[in-house]
Structure 1
Amino acid sequence: MEHQPSSRRLVCASCGTEFGCNPSGPCWCSDEAFRMPMPVDGSDCFCPDCLRKLAKQRAGAGAA
């Protein structure tokens, strides 16, 4: 029988902060308006603060 963890602890690829991820159910990031592709280069996800900062940076860059 294969058991998938309901949540896991990750370290932010940007700032090193530890945060939770729920790959087998709705994760906090699914409630965010900003979407990023899943990492394919072996890196991991961003924490909520870094994802929101990146969203603001990209929104600002698009407005210029």
Structure 2
Amino acid sequence: MPEPDEQLVASVCEGCGASFVCGAVAGLTSCWCMEQAPTAIEPTVGGNCYCPKCLAQRLSAGPG
């Protein structure tokens, strides 16, 4: 039987193309990104999320 993490739906990062698990897309009640500070980065409707690395880079770069 596969491990639970293997059953989760993989997302593709809009920034770098890496595969990662988005809790919202995978149908979980929360996601790792929800533990981050609120941001001014607006998701693209119908777009993909950012992986943890790309989100961290975008947050550290600030608005603009």
Identity %: 32
How far residue 34 of structure 1 moved from its aligned partner, in angstroms, is 4.5
Pair 1:29 & 2:30 matched: no
Name structure 2 gaps, 5 residues minimum: 1-7
- CA–CA distance in 2 between the matches of 1:30 and 1:17? 19
SS at match of 1:51: helix
TM-score (norm 2): 0.68
Across the aligned residues of Structure 1 and Structure 2, the Cα RMSD in angstroms comes to 2.1
How many aligned positions are there? 54
Deviation beyond 6 Å, 4+ runs, structure 1? none
List runs of 5+ in structure 1 lacking aligned partners: 1-6
CA distance in 2, matches of 1:25, 1:12: 20
Q: State the secondary structure of the residue aligned to 1:49.
A: helix
Name the CA distance, whole Å, in 1 between partners of 2:14 and 2:43.
12
Once the two structures are TM-superposed, the CA of residue 51 in structure 1 deviates from its matched residue by 0.4
Structure 2 counterpart of 1:13:
14
**CA shift at 1:21, angstroms?**
1.1
Specify the structure having the higher radius of gyration (Cα).
1
The verdict on how the C-alpha distance between 1:51 and 1:12 changes in structure 2, with shifts beyond 3 A counting, is: same
> Secondary structure of 2:33's partner?
helix
